[in-house]
Structure 1
Amino acid sequence: MPLAFATHARYYRNGAPVIVTATRRTPPESVSPRAKVSNKMNHFQAEFEAKAADPDAFALMLDTDGNIAESSGSDFLFISNGVLRIPQRRTHLTGVSLLTAVELAEKLGLETDEGAFTQFDLYQAEEAMLTASTYCLLPVVKVNGLAVGDGTPGPIVGRLLQAWSELVGVDIVDQAFKRA
């Protein structure tokens, strides 16, 4: 399946919306999120739910305690008070892209904090992002229709994308625009 460069380019430029869904992430007490299994029905349900609210949106799932877990197909991070906030890893599959984003953030001198974060914490964020192998890192500019920060891709996400491009030896954003 070809990469969706045109979609990625649009999100790099304008940012992506996310919708917090009523569908929850399977609790780690039931199935370890480290087990990459084919039963992801709740992920599909969350995606359908998000798309019904906003066709461009990614689904953001909470754990059964109401804390941020992950997107239906990617990891989710946000910046609050200049700190990179990472949802507790016990609730989601920690992807290589999330680990790369955290490593790059630390190299850029950003403090990181892993914990249980609520929607309220997210609504106070200055920036947010999704990480996945297909697009590396995408800026998130809306949560449930509300602006994250000033509603545009932020400077920290930009610095992380630049650092990622340097790491892999290709301008990720430029590549998306050229192949769109």
Structure 2
Amino acid sequence: MTSERVAYVNGEIVPESQALISIHDRGFLQGYSVFDTTRTFKHKIFKLDEHLNRFYNSLKYARLDPGMDISQMAQITMQVLETNLPLIGDDDDYWVTQRVSRGISGPEGDKPTIIVESVPLPFAARAKYYKDGMPVVIPSVRRTPPEVLSPRAKIQNYANLVQAEFEVKDKNPDGWPILLDMNGNLCEGPGSNFFIVKNGAVVTPREQFVLAGISRATTIELAQELGIETREEDIDLYDAYTADESFVTSTSFCICPVSSINGSPVGDLNTVPGPVTSRLLDAYSGLVGIDIQGQYLSRL
């Protein structure tokens, strides 16, 4: 058994130390690439079909042709994952990511670069957010508007989000950025969707202005199954400050409670998660067959 994880790069599965791309790759030169990421639960991949469908929609938007269909991408993804699974413990899990860049331009046209990889989830580093709740900080950096680049495509260029993250970390090293759109409404953070709970209803920004997160969609489906009202609408700072509860969704967190927004405690509760967030988190844990919060807290 190898002691090093492998990755798929342009037709070959190689050790990560040999996973190389050209200095002329336009994913590097221009930041022009598309990706998608899912995760495992108990080493089983979650909603791969949904993630790959979104991935191929992003590729279509970005006019990138990977030269293989979804079924081939799924087969490669599973091959990489299954090769790497023996390298993690029974209580560990992976992020699993597909990436396609424009690659190198040549006389015969573009030759895309294709990468599939898996990376262990950072349970220990992020456990604090389940213990104390996530302190959300709203940066001055605004989210790139859909008139410029659609947030519904998962584009690798994270410069906008990284600048926001720099600003937030300068204020609070543990802070999690949630950006405003150009109209002053909360939209999303790095790899995460934002929700509030008000008068028992779950509210999240409209899909036109955010990435259509798979975890976001899963949470909405679970809320509807539980009989919890769900709405997609604009959320401004007043709405956020006066919310009863708040949480973010993401591939790694699934659902993570928010404890404060710009230092202002969320709701009147002394503990997080609140009752609605707890119901949703329990339902999500039931869906994936693992105690999501417990998987993080066990690393403290």
Q: State the TM-score, normalizing by the size of structure 1.
A: 0.95
Contact 2:141 2:164 in 1 (8 A): yes
Report how far residue 98 of structure 1 moved: 0.5
1:152 corresponding residue in structure 2: 271
1:114 is the counterpart of 2:235: no
2:207 corresponding residue in structure 1: 89
Report how far residue 179 of structure 1 moved: 4.1
**2:153 aligned to 15, 22, 35, which one?**
35
1:167 corresponding residue in structure 2: 287
1:178 corresponding residue in structure 2: 298
Report how far residue 117 of structure 1 moved: 1.3
Contact 1:25 1:91 in 2 (8 A): no
The letter for the 1-side match of 2:241 is: Y
Report how far residue 177 of structure 1 moved: 2.5
Residues paired across the two proteins, number: 180
2:21 corresponding residue in structure 1: none
SS in 2 for 1:84: strand
Matches within 5 A, 1:70-149: 70-149=188-267
Report how far residue 157 of structure 1 moved: 1.1
Report how far residue 8 of structure 1 moved: 3.2
The letter for the 2-side match of 1:54 is: N
| Percent of residue pairs bearing the same amino acid type | 45
Contact 1:27 1:91 in 2 (8 A): yes
Higher RCO (C-alpha 8 Å, min separation 6): 1
Contact 1:16 1:58 in 2 (8 A): yes
Matches within 5 A, 1:2-13: 2-13=120-131
The runs of 5 or more residues in structure 1 that have no matched partner are: none
Contact 2:131 2:297 in 1 (8 A): no
Distance 1:152 1:41 in 2: 34
Q: Deviations over 1:8-47 (max 9, x none)?
A: 3321121010001111111111111112112221100111
- What is the root-mean-square deviation in Å for CA atoms of aligned residues? 1.3
The letter for the 2-side match of 1:161 is: L
Contact 1:43 1:73 in 2 (8 A): no
Report how far residue 151 of structure 1 moved: 5.0
Q: State the TM-score, normalizing by the size of structure 2.
A: 0.58
Distance 1:54 1:177 in 2: 22
Distance 1:34 1:113 in 2: 18
The runs of 5 or more residues in structure 2 that have no matched partner are: 1-118
SS in 2 for 1:68: coil
Distance 1:172 1:134 in 2: 10
The worse-fitting range, judged by mean Cα deviation, of 148-157 and 131-140 is: 148-157
* Structure 1 ranges of 4+ moved more than 6 A: none
